[in-house]
Structure 1
Amino acid sequence: MSTMKPPTMQRSRGQLATAYAPHSLFTFEGGSGACMALSASGNRTADLSTLTKRIIGEQIQEYFEAWATRAGRGLNLRHPVPLALAVDGRVLSDDVVRVRVGDLAFQVPENVGYVPFPLAFTCTRCGLHRECKQLDRLSGEAARFRQACPTGAKSCADDWQQIDVVLTHWSGEIEGLTPNYRHWVAASGDIREIGRCASCEMDRFYLRRPPGALAGWHFECVQCRTVRPILQRDTRTLELLGPLIAQNQALIAEINMEPVSYRASAAYYPHGDRLLVFDEDRYLSLLGTAQTAQLEGFLATTYGYPPTRLDDAEKGRLLRAAGRGDQWDNHVRIRDMIPMLEATPNIPQEYLNAQREELSRREEEWNASVFAGHQQATPGIARACRERQGYVRRFDPVRMAAEHATLVDEKLRGGQMSDGKEVSVDVTILDDFLIPDGLTQPEIDRMRSEVSRRCGLLGLAEMRLIRDIKVCEYSFAYTRTSASPTVTRDKAGNAEMPVRLRLFDRVQVGDAARHPVLCLLQSNEGFYLRLDEAAVLDWLATNGIPTTAALANVRLGGRLIEEFAAMDSDPSLRFSRFLDEYRREHAIPRLAYPYIYTLLHTMAHHLIGVSASMSGLDLGSFGEHIFVPDLAFLVYRRGMTMDLGNLSSMWRDRGDPPYGNEVLDRMVNPISLRCGSESVCNHRGGACPDCILIPESACITRNELLSRSTLIGRGAPRWDAAGPSLTGYYEIAARHANARAAEHTAAGST
């Protein structure tokens, strides 16, 4: 303990990235010996591509920017919030948040350093308080603790207990309990510390710990028994706000630290994020600022916007460049011949129609291939591409579109894995690894048919099991007293005080000192689901939710991107990092984008809940990713332990010819969305821990934008301003499925 280099310990990687991350407080087995974790050199570099590192750096930059904005708003404070009280000063440059990727070290968490903390002790017999200011002096000073005993060193019990309560502050600072306290001296403009009793000048105190709340704890002077409350002021905050105290422009409550058990979660909150890891950046590279024109073309092509009016010369040039000049020449000959044939007697009309259809078919094929990227973006799409640098990444529909296209290429159409299994499998088709043992071919056919029927009842256009979803989860910073950017306290009234987001301390990497980013790279199974666009459009229309006007054949996804661009300019509607806008009651009009996000998000949680009950995984073992423009979402297993095929085994074991698969059968059953707190839950907008909420660490929005009403009706989200109860999506989906079944039956009978 007296050495300068702290010892290290090993835990699971998941624990070292969260519960034992740098600056956390913990005790070893047995509950004694409190310590603080420290950043440790020696962790190996994470095997991440340059693309993944760049995206992580961008996400961390956005995280700090959003945190600074939210923490710095200073609601009901008497002064502007200094930026240094909102975020770590090491990410500030000229009062601008700037996180440099070169200052980060992407590491695999394999060990962590630790030191004893807090260095504050009390006698188990009399309660005498002793403390040590410096770790390297602890051994020598602890040996002299008995000399301060009021009964004399010889009669001292010499039995010292580490105090299990610390003083902490939303600036991120933490200290051991002490009878000393700091105050601001306005005359000299500095901080002074008072360590002696105000009555008798004694510098020794008992720590009294009566049963009950920590508010009852206090110090008592050894000599005159004068009581001193537990009071300390945060040094950094006092430096910045001390001059404002005398001018009555700051609150004392902003500066005071507060006692908290080092076992309590309020003593430490790690912060991080996660992202899907892809091998190729064909589409993701379009998100760069220099690729705006290509990005507009990609979106226009993907979502069915009409192509730019290309003249014949440009069409010919593009087709010849693609090696298809002969097709163009033949196309022109037939097109020029049709007017002459129309004027010729006795030419069969069927022949003319066939030629026109062939010309149209070729034009459509060229528009989707050779002419792709030459589409004319509408003003809404162009605006979204130009202004998306200000969007929150996880809610950016343009990024979702690029990620979805990459997912389709790499996973949904990804071929085979090294063990011969398909990367992804359609659940209505399955493969030999997903079919229960012992079924005959007629039983397998019946099972597939029932799965397909239930997918229709759920309004799904596609559902696939993916066997290789790569995810990187990482942590990079921490806060104290609160996991959100602001905190309120009774003594501060309705004032919001800034919670400071702090990077992990630097570690030595080669010749440089860098801030560690603790990365957990995972490859697990998951489910991909995509909703039926016709059913979604019907659901929106039934509930009076308008969509942006568009030309014929333009997919809903394009209109959603346009709507998001318009919403982002309205502070009351935009999707901010912490979704404050959607925490208000009855404040948001019925718009397509937030409603479709809520629909997809709620269905993802529904699938997670059902899967957790059948797979042996807990709710926190799942993750999710949402692709709003493509009406799709991904639910996958999270975890650093070996993937034993939890989801594929669940699917195989729950398959049965009479009902297809129990997972889907449970989702279709309306009982699965009943809530034990029905009336309370409905008042909250149809989402509570009794039904579709999951641990916040697993949810992409920390359990915002959720409502069972989007699936089954009987209410509306709490932010909905319209009022009337919704018609659930499952009702609309069932209507469409029954109509298709009736058409199929009618076609079969004829």
Structure 2
Amino acid sequence: MASRKGFLGTEDEEKTLSAPTMARSRGQLGSAYAPGAFFTFEGGLGACISLPDFSTTVDDAPIHAVTKAQIILRLQEVWQSWFTRSYAVGTGDRHTAPRQCLDEALLKGATVAPLGADRLAFLSPLRMGYAPAPLTFVCNKCRLFRRFESAHDLARNIDRLRKTQCTTADGKGHCQWRQLDVIFVHWSGEWMPATPGRWEWDDRKNGLQLSGEECNVCGKSDFKLNTDSPRIGQWHFYCANPTCGHKRSDEWRQNDLFTTEMFGDTANKRVSERRMEPISYRASSAYYAQSEQFVLFPESEHQLIAMLEPQRQSELAAFIGRQFRFGGGELTPDEMKAALLAAGKASEWETYESLLRMCDMARGMGDKAPLEMAEKELKKLIDRWTTSDPPLVQPRVALPPAIKVQLAMRSEYTSRFDPFVLAVEHEALTRGKLSAAPDGGRAEFVRFNHLDNDLAPKDADEKAAQEAKTQHLMTKLGIADLGLIREFDLCRFTHGYTRVSATPNLEKRNQLMSVRLRLFEPLRNGKRPIYVVTQGNEAMYVRLDPHAVYKWLQAVGVVDLPDWDENGTVRLGGKILEVAQPFGRYFSLLKEDEAVTYRYV
């Protein structure tokens, strides 16, 4: 995006002229109307560009420190993975500079240097500034073209513009001006209004030059724009001097100023990489807001989410072992007793001893049924000790070597597809929503085969029939759990933008180009804005029956399907975790190949 100065004039004008703000929903302002976006107000009266709100009042997002930490972790991942993918398109004869990939604020030499929390402003998008753009106008009758440098420049010359005499054949009246709705954009994230001149590198002056702003035949600086062609790329400027009318080219072209300056004296050898695209400001490719989204969990589950931090890998490993039942041998009675007494749970140990005596008594009497019942209760008791949160007795965990390898390569996964993140988040969802106690009579989660009073029919028989039918259909579909989460909390944040492409590279003229991820312009305090929107929506929760999933994977014929004992202790998720494969944030690692398990689940 051009700097704010480009729209408001000089530095002095910046201090006195403040961009107006618009009213939109938070969701709209944080995405479609985020800084750098082009739009028009209702009724189509003029095109504008969004700007950050530069007022002294800062609308801080009402989020916890844990949520900020999650955003920062995801930003670091996004910035690094974007850079890696974008930088990789360079070749030996066509070097890619780091600045072609990421905003300079995120770079230190050729490496990514993520911004910390002290350099970011987490904002609630309540207000967004805007300015008219592009400031280019064409007469509907005589095609005369006019361009202004800033809103201040336009305001100062508006009367002269209105009184411009039209040069059509009838020679009567003033020009009928319309704002030109076409701009030039580039995958560097820059844009330009239309202009007769073209940015080139001047080897003699060792600097940039906007050449062609004057007719190279008569020397006049007034131009007309022929927009007769239905193809925008074939519009062209020609001299407005009635005795000249020289047409420089059959097509109008523009070079990206940022890329031209970066290439310097090699710019003339890399023309295709500098060429901008003429498009309507309404086109989707003019602006892509870069956003991420994740689930928000109650404060009670923040400690669980904190296990995902790099320095807490041992806790994460223990959690995975417990969650997927990777047992490392049975605990001895002495180990369990010591743990319970240390936790002040002597009564729990007394219950264990009582059940143990019942087992001994039944065994001595040869009474099989009471023995089986007592042993079953013993097992349930130990399971409760080892699976409670936190566990009363820490279970023995023996992670398979494949899981340890997966833990070591977590950095190769993106958060969205990281199986460890998914496992932790699902457990947080289970504790915070799926198994949460009713709040004021309303359950956080309602199963469709066990309806509550709000969702169920009033008639008891009708309710029972509906639940039975639902259960029957769930079984046929291989669904183990199905219901409504009444308030599913999400956090969505927008951190920057791109133009031409929403992904780190694109193919243009048979070449892969690096797409540059731009941050939003700094606020008055020098911090970069991150626009955060949190909201609670209703959501459907579906959990598939692992037995049905395993049979389906067998039918598909995935080549790496692990062996799984359906009657064993290890859960299917644990076996799948052993064969998980990263496939890249932008699916860059996905190749057409044989079917593998993790892609299907």
Deviation at 1:380, TM superposition (A): 2.4
- Matched residue of 1:461: which SS? strand
Q: Residue 323 of structure 1 corresponds to which residue in structure 2?
A: 344
From 132, 139, 146, the counterpart of 1:116: 132
Q: TM-score, normalised by structure 2?
A: 0.87
Name the aligned partner's letter for residue 449 of structure 1: A
From 546, 553, 573, the counterpart of 1:533: 546
Q: Which runs of 5+ in 1 are unaligned?
A: 568-573, 597-750
| Cα pair distance change 1:212/1:341, threshold 3 Å | closer
Once the two structures are superposed, residues 113-166 of structure 1 have per-residue CA deviations (whole angstroms, 9 ceiling, x without a partner) of: 1111111122233111121223322222344448986969x9762433221111
Q: Residue 441 of structure 1 corresponds to which residue in structure 2?
A: 460
Once the two structures are superposed, residues 302-352 of structure 1 have per-residue CA deviations (whole angstroms, 9 ceiling, x without a partner) of: 11111356555433321321334566578679979999998x8x7556676
Question: Residues 125 and 157 of structure 1 are in contact (CA less than 8 Å); yes or no, is this contact kept in structure 2?
Answer: no
- Matched residue of 1:477: which SS? strand
Deviation larger for 465-474 or 538-547: 538-547
Q: Residue 555 of structure 2 corresponds to which residue in structure 1?
A: 542
Tell me if 1:227 matches 2:243: no
Name the aligned partner's letter for residue 88 of structure 1: D
Q: Residue 577 of structure 2 corresponds to which residue in structure 1?
A: 561
Deviation at 1:539, TM superposition (A): 1.5
Q: Residue 416 of structure 1 corresponds to which residue in structure 2?
A: 438
Question: Residues 306 and 375 of structure 1 are in contact (CA less than 8 Å); yes or no, is this contact kept in structure 2?
Answer: yes
Deviation at 1:48, TM superposition (A): 0.7
Q: Residue 4 of structure 2 corresponds to which residue in structure 1?
A: none
Name the aligned partner's letter for residue 93 of structure 1: K
Question: Residues 282 and 406 of structure 1 are in contact (CA less than 8 Å); yes or no, is this contact kept in structure 2?
Answer: no
Q: Residue 462 of structure 1 corresponds to which residue in structure 2?
A: 481
Q: Residue 66 of structure 1 corresponds to which residue in structure 2?
A: 81
From 582, 596, 599, the counterpart of 1:594: 599
Question: Residues 26 and 124 of structure 2 are in contact (CA less than 8 Å); yes or no, is this contact kept in structure 1?
Answer: yes
Higher relative contact order (CA 8 A, sep 6+): 2
Tell me if 1:12 matches 2:22: no
Q: Residue 71 of structure 2 corresponds to which residue in structure 1?
A: 56
Q: Residue 3 of structure 2 corresponds to which residue in structure 1?
A: none
| Cα pair distance change 1:338/1:425, threshold 3 Å | closer
Deviation at 1:402, TM superposition (A): 0.9
From 369, 376, 380, the counterpart of 2:398: 376
Name the aligned partner's letter for residue 478 of structure 2: G
Question: Residues 179 and 228 of structure 1 are in contact (CA less than 8 Å); yes or no, is this contact kept in structure 2?
Answer: no
Deviation at 1:211, TM superposition (A): 3.4
- Matched residue of 1:227: which SS? coil
| Cα pair distance change 1:164/1:322, threshold 3 Å | same
1:481-500 mapped onto 2 (5 Å cutoff) = 481-489=500-508, 492=509, 494-500=510-516
From 519, 522, 531, the counterpart of 2:532: 519
Q: Residue 96 of structure 1 corresponds to which residue in structure 2?
A: 111
Q: Residue 422 of structure 2 corresponds to which residue in structure 1?
A: 400
Q: Residue 157 of structure 1 corresponds to which residue in structure 2?
A: 174
Name the aligned partner's letter for residue 520 of structure 1: V
Once the two structures are superposed, residues 10-34 of structure 1 have per-residue CA deviations (whole angstroms, 9 ceiling, x without a partner) of: 1222221222221111122221321
- Matched residue of 1:476: which SS? strand
Question: Residues 85 and 499 of structure 1 are in contact (CA less than 8 Å); yes or no, is this contact kept in structure 2?
Answer: yes
Q: How far apart, CA to CA, are the structure 1 residues paired with 2:372 and 2:460? A: 44
From 197, 210, 214, the counterpart of 2:215: 197
| Cα pair distance change 1:312/1:445, threshold 3 Å | closer
| Cα pair distance change 1:289/1:219, threshold 3 Å | same
Tell me if 1:431 matches 2:447: no
From 168, 182, 205, the counterpart of 2:199: 182
Question: Residues 358 and 374 of structure 2 are in contact (CA less than 8 Å); yes or no, is this contact kept in structure 1?
Answer: no
Name the aligned partner's letter for residue 7 of structure 1: P
Once the two structures are superposed, residues 193-236 of structure 1 have per-residue CA deviations (whole angstroms, 9 ceiling, x without a partner) of: 21222222222211111131112210111232221241221111
Question: Residues 125 and 159 of structure 1 are in contact (CA less than 8 Å); yes or no, is this contact kept in structure 2?
Answer: yes
Q: How far apart, CA to CA, are the structure 1 residues paired with 2:28 and 2:529? A: 15
Q: How far apart, CA to CA, are the structure 1 residues paired with 2:343 and 2:38? A: 63
Aligned residues: 570
- Matched residue of 1:62: which SS? helix
Q: Residue 622 of structure 1 corresponds to which residue in structure 2?
A: none
Deviation larger for 70-79 or 329-338: 329-338
Q: Residue 575 of structure 1 corresponds to which residue in structure 2?
A: 583
Q: Residue 142 of structure 2 corresponds to which residue in structure 1?
A: 126
| Cα pair distance change 1:553/1:120, threshold 3 Å | same
Q: Residue 224 of structure 2 corresponds to which residue in structure 1?
A: 206
Q: Residue 616 of structure 1 corresponds to which residue in structure 2?
A: none
Once the two structures are superposed, residues 528-583 of structure 1 have per-residue CA deviations (whole angstroms, 9 ceiling, x without a partner) of: 1101111111222233234334684210111222222xx3xxxxxx320111344x
Q: TM-score, normalised by structure 1?
A: 0.71
Q: Residue 106 of structure 1 corresponds to which residue in structure 2?
A: 122
Question: Residues 298 and 373 of structure 1 are in contact (CA less than 8 Å); yes or no, is this contact kept in structure 2?
Answer: no
- Matched residue of 2:542: which SS? strand
Question: Residues 139 and 176 of structure 2 are in contact (CA less than 8 Å); yes or no, is this contact kept in structure 1?
Answer: yes
| Cα pair distance change 1:353/1:145, threshold 3 Å | closer
Name the aligned partner's letter for residue 147 of structure 2: E
Question: Residues 163 and 174 of structure 2 are in contact (CA less than 8 Å); yes or no, is this contact kept in structure 1?
Answer: no
Question: Residues 164 and 175 of structure 2 are in contact (CA less than 8 Å); yes or no, is this contact kept in structure 1?
Answer: no
- Matched residue of 1:54: which SS? helix
| Cα pair distance change 1:327/1:136, threshold 3 Å | closer
Q: Residue 295 of structure 1 corresponds to which residue in structure 2?
A: 316
Name the aligned partner's letter for residue 84 of structure 1: R
Q: How big is the alpha-carbon RMSD for the aligned residues of Structure 1 and Structure 2?
A: 2.9
Q: Residue 51 of structure 2 corresponds to which residue in structure 1?
A: 38
| Cα pair distance change 1:77/1:217, threshold 3 Å | farther
Question: Residues 166 and 175 of structure 2 are in contact (CA less than 8 Å); yes or no, is this contact kept in structure 1?
Answer: no
| Cα pair distance change 1:341/1:417, threshold 3 Å | closer
| Cα pair distance change 1:227/1:371, threshold 3 Å | same
Deviation larger for 104-113 or 304-313: 304-313
Deviation larger for 203-212 or 382-391: 382-391
Deviation larger for 186-195 or 44-53: 186-195
- Matched residue of 2:156: which SS? helix
Question: Residues 139 and 177 of structure 2 are in contact (CA less than 8 Å); yes or no, is this contact kept in structure 1?
Answer: yes
Q: How far apart, CA to CA, are the structure 2 residues paired with 1:158 and 1:331? A: 95
Question: Residues 355 and 377 of structure 2 are in contact (CA less than 8 Å); yes or no, is this contact kept in structure 1?
Answer: no
| Cα pair distance change 1:77/1:134, threshold 3 Å | farther
From 257, 262, 267, the counterpart of 2:281: 262
- Matched residue of 1:496: which SS? strand
- Matched residue of 1:29: which SS? coil
| Cα pair distance change 1:187/1:427, threshold 3 Å | same
- Matched residue of 2:489: which SS? strand
Deviation larger for 237-246 or 267-276: 237-246
Q: Residue 5 of structure 2 corresponds to which residue in structure 1?
A: none
Deviation at 1:451, TM superposition (A): 0.8
- Matched residue of 1:236: which SS? helix
Question: Residues 425 and 464 of structure 1 are in contact (CA less than 8 Å); yes or no, is this contact kept in structure 2?
Answer: yes
Deviation at 1:354, TM superposition (A): 6.1
Name the aligned partner's letter for residue 420 of structure 2: V
